[in-house]
C-alpha cells in the first residue's frame, strides 16, 4: 500500500471518528431527556439520571400533554399545539410568498438602486430583533393589533422577510435571463411571469426556506410571549410556564416530556424533508 493510500485511509478514519464524536456530543443530551421522561420521579430522585429506566412509562408524557399546570391552567401543553400551528403555518406561507416576490423583483430591477436596496435588506438581517420590540409594540398598539392573532403572524412575517428575500434573490440570480425575456415576449406580465414561470422552478429553494422558517417560528419564545396575547400563546410559552411553575417541587420527568412534545413537530419536519433541504442547498440556496 502506497504512502498516499495510507494517508487517505487515515484521513477517512479521522473524519468518521470526528463525525461520530460530534453526533454523540449533540445526541447525548437528547438521549438523557428521553430516558428521564420515561422514568418515575422516585427513580430520578434516587440519582439515576444516567441509567436506563427500570420500568419505562409514558405517564409523564400524558401528564405533560393534558394535566401539567401552566399558571392557573392545568390542561397541559396541548392547548398550545393548535396555537403554534395556527401562528406558524400562515406566517411561513406569507413570508415565503412575499420573500420570493421581493427576490424576483430585485433580480429583474436592473438599476443601481436594486443593489442598494438589497444591501439595506441584508443589513436588517444583522439587527437584533430584540432592539425592535419596543417600537413594534407601539406601532401594533396604535393600529389595534397588539396581543392579537393577526399581530403575531404579522410580526413573524415582517421579521422573516429580510432572510427570505435574500435567499430567493440569490437563487433567482442563477436563473438564465432568457427565460423571463421569453415570457415577456409572449406577453406575460411581471406577476404572470412570476407565478407561471419562476415560482414552479423554485420548489427546492421553497422547501429550504419553509424548513428554516418553520423551525425558527415554531421554536420562538420571546415574540410569542410579547405579541401573541393570552388566547394565542404558542407551545414554547406554555412550556416555560410549566417548567417555571413554582408550586411544589420540580417534576423533572414531566418537564422533560413537555420539552420533547414541544420540539417534536420541528423534528418531524426535519426528518421528513431533510433530503429536500440538502437538494435545495445544492441548487444554490446559499450562493451569493
Q: Which residue has the higher pLDDT, 91 or 204?
A: 91
Per-residue model confidence as pLDDT tens digits over 213-257: 999 999 898 998 899 888 888 888 888 887 776 566 677 888 888
pLDDT of residue 285: 42
Residue 63 forms part of a structural domain: no
Per-residue model confidence as pLDDT tens digits over 3-37: 555 656 777 888 888 888 988 888 888 888 888 88
pLDDT of residue 200: 86
Domain count, the chain: 2
Instruction: Of 168, 160, 241, give the one whose Cα is nearest residue 202.
Output: 168
- Residue in this structure with the C-alpha cell 405517564, named with its chain if needed: 59
pLDDT of residue 189: 84
Cα 169 to Cα 263: distance, rounded to the nearest angstrom:
31
Helices (H), the chain: 3-37, 41-45, 59-66, 78-108, 112-125, 133-142, 149-172, 177-185, 190-193, 203-218, 222-227, 235-243, 252-280
Mean per-residue pLDDT, 30-46:
83
Q: Which residue has the higher pLDDT, 158 or 45?
A: 158
pLDDT of residue 288: 41
Give the number of other Cβ atoms within 10 Å of residue 32's Cβ: 13
Per-residue model confidence as pLDDT tens digits over 93-147: 999 999 999 988 888 887 777 778 888 888 878 888 888 888 999 999 999 899 8
- Assess whether 260 and 124 both reside in one domain: yes
- Assess whether 139 and 228 both reside in one domain: yes
- Assess whether 26 and 94 both reside in one domain: no
pLDDT of residue 278: 62
Those residues with Cβ within 8 angstroms of residue 166's Cβ, 6 or more apart along the chain or in another chain: 103, 118, 121, 122, 125, 288
Q: Domain range for residue 218?
A: 78-285
Q: Which residue has the higher pLDDT, 50 or 276?
A: 50
Residue 197 forms part of a structural domain: yes
- Assess whether 39 and 170 both reside in one domain: no
Cα 173 to Cα 107: distance, rounded to the nearest angstrom:
6
- Assess whether 28 and 124 both reside in one domain: no
Mean per-residue pLDDT, 190-205:
86
Give the number of other Cβ atoms within 10 Å of residue 192's Cβ: 13
- Assess whether 12 and 82 both reside in one domain: no
pLDDT confidence tier of residue 182, bands split at 50, 70 and 90: confident
- Assess whether 32 and 123 both reside in one domain: no
pLDDT confidence tier of residue 287, bands split at 50, 70 and 90: very low
Query: 65 with 78: CB under 8 angstroms?
Result: yes
pLDDT of residue 283: 57
3-class SS at 73? strand
Residue 148 forms part of a structural domain: yes
pLDDT at 212 over 80: yes
Query: 215 with 262: CB under 8 angstroms?
Result: no
Cα torsion 137, 80, 84, 59 to 10°: value is 140
Give the number of other Cβ atoms within 10 Å of residue 14's Cβ: 10
- Per the structure block, which three cell numbers stand in for 32? 438523557
CATH number at residue 197: 1.10.3720.10
- Assess whether 152 and 12 both reside in one domain: no
- Assess whether 32 and 152 both reside in one domain: no
Mean pLDDT estimate for the chain: 82
- Assess whether 109 and 166 both reside in one domain: yes
- Assess whether 110 and 200 both reside in one domain: yes
Q: What is the pTM of this model?
A: 0.81
- Per the structure block, which three cell numbers stand in for 226? 410579547
pLDDT of residue 240: 83
- Assess whether 144 and 16 both reside in one domain: no
Residue 71 forms part of a structural domain: no
pLDDT over 90, % of the chain: 17
Amino acid at each position: 500500500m502506497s504512502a498516499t493510500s495510507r494517508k487517505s485511509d487515515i484521513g477517512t478514519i479521522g473524519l468518521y471518528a470526528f463525525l461520530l464524536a460530534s453526533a454523540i456530543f449533540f445526541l447525548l443530551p437528547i438521549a438523557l431527556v428521553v430516558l428521564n421522561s420515561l422514568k418515575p420521579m422516585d427513580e430520578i430522585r434516587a440519582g439515576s439520571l444516567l441509567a436506563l429506566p427500570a420500568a419505562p412509562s409514558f405517564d409523564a408524557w400524558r401528564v405533560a400533554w393534558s394535566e401539567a399546570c401552566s399558571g392557573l391552567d392545568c390542561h397541559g401543553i396541548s392547548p398550545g399545539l393548535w396555537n403554534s400551528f395556527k401562528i406558524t403555518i400562515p406566517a411561513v406561507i406569507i413570508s415565503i410568498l412575499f420573500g420570493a416576490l421581493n427576490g424576483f423583483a430585485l433580480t429583474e430591477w436592473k438599476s443601481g438602486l436594486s443593489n442598494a436596496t438589497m444591501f439595506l435588506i441584508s443589513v436588517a438581517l444583522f439587527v437584533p430583533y430584540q432592539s425592535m420590540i419596543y417600537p413594534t409594540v407601539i406601532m401594533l398598539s396604535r393600529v389595534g393589533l397588539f396581543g392579537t392573532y393577526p399581530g403575531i403572524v404579522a410580526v413573524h412575517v415582517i421579521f422573516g422577510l429580510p432572510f427570505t428575500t435574500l435567499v430567493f434573490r440569490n437563487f433567482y440570480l442563477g436563473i438564465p435571463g432568457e427565460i423571463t425575456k421569453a415570457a415577456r415576449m409572449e406577453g406575460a406580465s411581471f406577476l404572470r411571469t412570476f407565478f407561471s414561470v419562476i415560482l414552479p422552478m423554485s420548489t427546492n429553494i421553497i422547501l429550504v426556506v419553509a424548513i428554516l422558517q418553520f423551525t425558527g417560528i415554531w421554536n420562538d419564545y420571546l415574540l410569542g410571549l410579547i405579541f401573541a396575547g393570552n388566547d394565542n400563546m404558542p407551545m414554547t410559552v406554555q412550556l416555560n410556564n410549566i417548567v417555571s411553575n413554582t408550586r411544589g417541587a420540580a417534576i423533572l420527568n414531566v418537564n422533560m416530556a413537555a420539552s420533547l412534545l414541544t420540539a417534536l413537530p420541528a423534528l418531524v419536519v426535519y426528518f421528513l424533508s431533510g433530503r429536500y433541504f440538502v437538494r435545495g442547498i445544492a441548487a444554490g440556496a446559499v450562493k451569493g
